[in-house]
Structure 1
Amino acid sequence: MIPIEYAIKFEDHSKQSIQPKFIEVLCYLAKHFPRVIPREELIENVWAGNSYVGEKALTNAIWHLRQSLKGSNNEDETIETIRKVGYRLLVAPQYIDNNADDNAPVSSQDNYLSTLTQPKSLVFACVVFLVLGLMFSLFKTPQNFDQAVIKQITKSPGSELFPSPSPDGTQVVFKWLTDKHNSNLYIKDRNNPQLSPKQLTFGNAYVGHSVWSNDGQYLYFSRKDKSNDSCQVIQLKVLTQQEKPIVDCPTKGGYYYLDISPDDNTLAFHGYREPADESGIYFIDLTNNESQPVRFSCSNNCDYKERDFAFSPDGKSIAVTRRINRFNENIYLVNLATKELEQLTKGEEDIVGLTWHPDGEKLVFGAQRADIRRGYVLDINSKAISNFQFEGFSYPAFARKSKELFYQQRYEKYYLASLPLGNNVASSPFPIIESEFSHLDPHYSTKQDRIAYASNESGFYELWISDTQGLNRQQLTFLKQTIRYPRWSHSGDKIAFLGPVESDKADKIYIYDLTTNTLSIVPSMHQIHNRPTWSWDDNAIISAVYEKEYVDLHYINIVTGDSTRLSNDGSRFGIMTSPTTLLYTGERKGLWQLELAFENQKLFNNYANNQPLNKVSGKIFKTTYTWDHTEQGVYFHQKYDKHHQISFYNYAEQQSTPILRLPRSTLRTSTTLSKIAKNNELLFSRAYSPQADIKSLSHPLL
């Protein structure tokens, strides 16, 4: 290779010109032979850390280099891909003095220009370390200020979550989550990048999002401690690490968002106080130690739940996200003085973070659609929304004074796996359907001998089916919207699933009929449903419904929509195991059994007088959705602090046996479990170990 000419020279003395960036990649691989070079390292050194450009450019460079460097038999590979790691040069560099005779011995690496020789057909030259560095600086493509620039802030193993930059942007606090350690807050000093992040919190308690005070002295975060059933919002003085409890927060629920007003006087947080129905956003006055939280969110009989929020830079309004159901969450702007409400987005499924641009004219937010995260800029005045055009963007946060944008880059991908059961030799789950897309919630039909599942191959989660090997796949729906939780009927001729409808405040149960290839909607009187299963005769759907007064399982006729409530204990998910027997789970831990009463094929169950039987104790059975019944017992999921476990409970022996232990980040804990009896294997959704890093973004849209 001859870098100064941007060319490769072959043994027959012919030359092939290639792009300068390709030369830089090849030189870097040669200089560090035989080490495997991570993609991030190549992007950092060849594209100056600009991963926005470098991610795709590096893939393109490797492909072109392989085409250029193939041997005469067109099979020899020069660059090896190490999956999920990076690239490695397969040919040992030989440094040759370019000014010497072709037959001269190999010289030292101190020569001004040297040559790297590959056996067979290729000779190429590479510059030594000092000259290489000089050439990179001389020939590097000038910075284009019209392009986005992404810089890596953290890149440790595990997941670094929820960035919280100090006002001047010199320090970034984040939550670090690994499979082997409990999550805690850490702080990264950007003025001393060689130093490891410093740990700020300690112990086994759960910590959530954090926010800095505008004067840069304090950090606020919530901490939930299961050991003493407590949750508190904490004020941490960053310089001395002194902690001060501010207010209690709810021990139930997973929302721990916080924000602080521009004058540092008001802290917004998720809390709960009676007589509110459930948790919501509260304000507390930080200038008065005796102040009590004041409810901001709707308190009772609400049609939505408010999740994330952010004060505007002028303190006059607050942007909030409101979740109507699992398919609908959007951003609203509330004037704090008049309480006037304005909807800013429409058609979003899941908002994953929002922050105000310091100029007060724009909001930056992350949205997750079919498990793909992207970032957007929303102009407050025009309501125009622009896309950053790359994946993985979530939980953005601006440094208020430096105006730098930080965000969490995280990819989520799921695949279908099967676990062989009853083997003498321990087995690991085998991939059934694994690709660049995500596949969820498999359910097996004995009658059809096929799997129904949801896949986002089309850009939306649609209904698919395949055989038990993951072959002969077929997409059944083309709704161009997210569907969830497919479930075969007992007869195997229909599949029920949950999906949105045009109304923003409703979802419906859909039924796909395989005999007619038609799609219908169950005419339910309810607005919000949960995972559907089938009655024993397939004439009705068993689904929890969400009403203002309660949530419980209902028996819904698929033709008439007639609905009968089955329980009064907060049940969420049920499976019919005989014409009259329902197994279910819900708010109460444990697996419960209820006998239903029918007369002339019509249900007249009186749940008030028909008390359920505790089939499996809540001491060991705590999952809501991840379980599957067999005649002998039940397969179910167990969650531990540092791992997940799939176990089998034998009804006759009344004993639980562990089957599989997995790292907590690699099992989708809301997945269905489905037994394939003929193969004696268990189906479920697995997750790739997530890697989440904190990055900063400079973009023309900002």
Structure 2
Amino acid sequence: MKDKNKLSFCLGRCRIDPSDNSISFQTLGDEPHQNESAKISLQPKFIEVLSYLALRYPEVVTRDELIDKVWEGNVYVGTKALTNAIWHLRQQLSPFAQESGVIETVRKTGYRLLLPPIYDTFDDGEEQRQTTEAKLQHATKRMRVMAIVMGVITFICALVMGVHLYQDKLRMMDTQLTVLTRDPGSERYPQLSHDRRWLVYGASRPGLTSSLYLKDFKRADLPARQLTPSSSSELRAVWSLDDTALFFASRSHATGKCTITQLTLATNEMRALAPCSSDMTAIDISPDGQYLAYISAHESEKMGGIYRLSLKSTEATAERLSCDTRCNYEDRDLAYSPDGRWLAIARRFSNISEDIFIRDLASAHEKRLTQGLEDIRGLSWTPDSQALVFATEDSGSSNGFTLDINTAQIRSLDVEGMSYPSSVSAEGELVYHQYHRQFQMAYFSLGDKVPGSLFPLLYSGVSHRNPDYSPEAKRIVFVSSETGYNEIWTSDINGQKLEQLTQLKSRVAYPRWSPDGSRIAFIAPDDRNEGNRIFILDLTNKNITALASSYHNHGRPSWNWQGTAVLASTADGITEFYLDNRAPRVISSLSMAVGFAKSATELVFSRDGENGLWQINLTQPEHVEQLISTDAFRAGNNWVLTASGVYFKSSNGHEQLLNYWEASSQQVTSLLRVPRSSLSGFGSMTYIPEANRLVMTLDGFPQRDIILLKHKLLK
């Protein structure tokens, strides 16, 4: 008998066929020849969800049950995939939807099919015959198995008892956390020596530069020793195989030059080996000690990628292993497997999507293990080279996971705040740095007689960021993690009268009001949870549509002066996307971080990876002028254009400044001085003319500590 869950069925005039994962709509005309079916193919998982809802009609099916049946209990993948499946099914079934819809969401429970399914008929007699035969076969087989089992019953009992005792021991082993550092400041990127005697990590002390520190792992009472000088910055190191040397990226404060460096611990001698681009460069050493692999973007026109440097010769130069030019991804982290076969890679496809690959070092063949993660924070291997341990930040929350490289199964460690796990032992131990980051929105009142400070706009225990104000709507739009997901919300100018505008349960980012206050542009993951798309939320009907684009990644959106198009940075440069779904048009090959329309023909923008503020003529894009010099303007994303000038953030040593550039005099005035890292480099700034007030994203100096974790899933 055919499984009923795989039978074709009808919902009204819509026919669902699981055999080819299709749905077809019967269009009725006046004549018989006008009755035609339009067949549409859907993803298999979408059909499985719909078939299971039909099987359980008219009952409510919980989300957990659907994830268990369709995604085999993989909560990590199934949670977001189910929401995506329901959304797509509602879209495809909309031609025959009744007033209340076809699939009902039962709040805090699950989903229910509202139309009765009519299944294709099947032969009950044949079913009974097959059932009888199956029972006879089962009885015969059972007798044979029992005869065999009787002969080995003692051995099996002993084996089962041993397995249960071992599993009970694992279940009884609680997760153990031991704090290894409690110093003021921020400790991160821990690495234990191979003999597990010494711990090296990077730390940023208040008022000091970032340096590497060495601590006796067995002696918690002894203070850590600073290894690198204050004239340079270092944060992330890896041990040589014999634990006599460290390799790391070092950036000189005097020259700004970054080099991969070797430090011999016995003599404190430092030797430059190769160029790099950041003192936070991910770095690892091959298990045979012959190669260093690290991430860098030091070569012109090249994204962050993997470089491999031979340690066998002092004259060796690093070779690039990643894509060279016009890549649709950027490599951001890596780790060699202990058996030397694999290189694990964290790869970013867009500014809100990142995933894990493993590369066979012998064949260079790559295998993808995850789909649709947000921000990967560290990769490490288990000693048997069969699983990865990694951490992610998703909607402002960090956690750790294990990943089986053969089955791609992900299991949560349930360790909140885990970042950059490393040095996994056979006993189930590792070290990581605990990281809690919370973005807040704050306002600064301009023109007060008494100098003011930054005041919180919203008092909450969740993250709020990327504000943008509309004088027409008289509302602030921003991203909030109030629901556990980054969604779009609005408030009045005082942070009150909150309203949630999206329920995508996804990763929305960078909302911007249209000039008339009727629409909001933002970016969110694409259907594959790999790249991103530009979406438009129409507030008149609450519809969300994606703008036509063939690009994989889009930068922060900004509107043109008329509100008829959205400008964003792509692989080709500043690109204009149209609301009527015309093909996008490349304006300029220059990149854009943040842009504001100054008039119908003028766009003021900052550039990715380059200081200074610029203005381009949209009708004559070859005409580009610099408004603020590269020495004065280093805001990146944190600035806003007003009718009379520009407010922007700048860094000055160990502090940040809030500045104002007056367009008429072209003079820069500092308005406020705040501690370093107070204003987020990934945030945004907006101006409220009615209140003469700036609203911006706050990011307090994060407290990080090194933690030792012992966990049953790591054994």
TM-score (norm 1): 0.75
1:592 is aligned to 2:619: no
Amino acid of the structure 2 residue aligned with 1:607: P
Amino acid of the structure 2 residue aligned with 1:207: E
Aligned 8 A contact 1:370 1:482 in 2: yes
Aligned 8 A contact 2:468 2:685 in 1: yes
Paired residues for 1:328-477 under 5 Å = 328-398=353-423, 404-477=429-502
Deviation at 1:642, TM superposition (A): 0.7
Alpha-carbon distance in structure 1 between the residues aligned to 2:653 and 2:301: 31
Out of 506, 531, 541, the residue aligned to residue 531 of structure 2 is: 506
More divergent stretch after superposition (429-438 vs 290-299): 290-299
Q: How many residues align?
A: 545
Out of 599, 602, 607, the residue aligned to residue 621 of structure 2 is: 607
Deviation at 1:403, TM superposition (A): 6.5
Aligned 8 A contact 2:372 2:528 in 1: no
Deviation at 1:214, TM superposition (A): 2.1
The DSSP-based 3-state class of the residue aligned with 1:701 is helix
- Alignment partner, residue 176 of structure 1: 203
- Alignment partner, residue 688 of structure 2: 676
1:617 is aligned to 2:629: yes
The DSSP-based 3-state class of the residue aligned with 1:511 is strand
Deviation at 1:566, TM superposition (A): 2.4
Amino acid of the structure 2 residue aligned with 1:689: F
- Alignment partner, residue 54 of structure 1: none
1:564 is aligned to 2:585: yes
Out of 553, 560, 581, the residue aligned to residue 574 of structure 2 is: 553
Alpha-carbon distance in structure 2 between the residues aligned to 1:155 and 1:143: 30
Deviation at 1:222, TM superposition (A): 0.6
Paired residues for 1:79-94 under 5 Å = none
Deviation at 1:545, TM superposition (A): 1.5
Amino acid of the structure 2 residue aligned with 1:640: N
Aligned 8 A contact 1:179 1:664 in 2: no
Out of 183, 206, 210, the residue aligned to residue 156 of structure 1 is: 183
- Alignment partner, residue 247 of structure 2: 220
Deviation at 1:331, TM superposition (A): 0.9
Deviation at 1:400, TM superposition (A): 5.9
Deviation at 1:274, TM superposition (A): 6.3
Alpha-carbon distance in structure 1 between the residues aligned to 2:374 and 2:703: 23
Amino acid of the structure 1 residue aligned with 2:347: R
Deviation at 1:563, TM superposition (A): 2.4
Deviation at 1:572, TM superposition (A): 3.2
More divergent stretch after superposition (150-159 vs 188-197): 188-197
1:211 is aligned to 2:238: yes
Aligned 8 A contact 2:236 2:280 in 1: no
**Consecutive unaligned residues in structure 2, runs of 5 or more:** 1-168
Aligned 8 A contact 2:399 2:419 in 1: yes
Aligned 8 A contact 1:184 1:201 in 2: yes
Alpha-carbon distance in structure 2 between the residues aligned to 1:275 and 1:192: 45
State the Cα deviation string for residues 441-462 of structure 1 (Å, max 9, x = none).
0111111111100011111111
Paired residues for 1:224-235 under 5 Å = 224-235=251-262
Alpha-carbon distance in structure 2 between the residues aligned to 1:518 and 1:646: 37
Alpha-carbon distance in structure 2 between the residues aligned to 1:638 and 1:331: 35
TM-score (norm 2): 0.73
Alpha-carbon distance in structure 2 between the residues aligned to 1:336 and 1:617: 46
Deviation at 1:692, TM superposition (A): 0.4
Aligned 8 A contact 2:519 2:538 in 1: yes
Amino acid of the structure 2 residue aligned with 1:564: R
Amino acid of the structure 2 residue aligned with 1:175: G
Tell me: CA distance 1:164–1:621, structure 2 relative to 1, closer, same or farther (3 Å): same
Tell me: CA distance 1:384–1:505, structure 2 relative to 1, closer, same or farther (3 Å): closer
Aligned 8 A contact 2:372 2:530 in 1: no
Tell me: CA distance 1:455–1:277, structure 2 relative to 1, closer, same or farther (3 Å): same
Aligned 8 A contact 2:433 2:704 in 1: yes
The DSSP-based 3-state class of the residue aligned with 2:497 is coil
**Consecutive unaligned residues in structure 1, runs of 5 or more:** 1-141, 597-604
- Alignment partner, residue 483 of structure 1: 508
Deviation at 1:205, TM superposition (A): 2.1
State the Cα deviation string for residues 104-127 of structure 1 (Å, max 9, x = none).
xxxxxxxxxxxxxxxxxxxxxxxx
State the Cα deviation string for residues 112-146 of structure 1 (Å, max 9, x = none).
xxxxxxxxxxxxxxxxxxxxxxxxxxxxxx99842
Aligned 8 A contact 1:261 1:311 in 2: yes
Out of 559, 574, 577, the residue aligned to residue 534 of structure 1 is: 559
Q: What is the aligned-residue RMSD (CA, Å)?
A: 2.1
- Alignment partner, residue 288 of structure 1: 313
Aligned 8 A contact 1:307 1:323 in 2: yes
State the Cα deviation string for residues 367-388 of structure 1 (Å, max 9, x = none).
1111211000112233221101
Amino acid of the structure 1 residue aligned with 2:196: G
More divergent stretch after superposition (674-683 vs 525-534): 525-534
Deviation at 1:306, TM superposition (A): 1.3
Alpha-carbon distance in structure 2 between the residues aligned to 1:543 and 1:559: 16
Aligned 8 A contact 1:533 1:575 in 2: yes
Aligned 8 A contact 2:250 2:279 in 1: no
Amino acid of the structure 2 residue aligned with 1:508: R
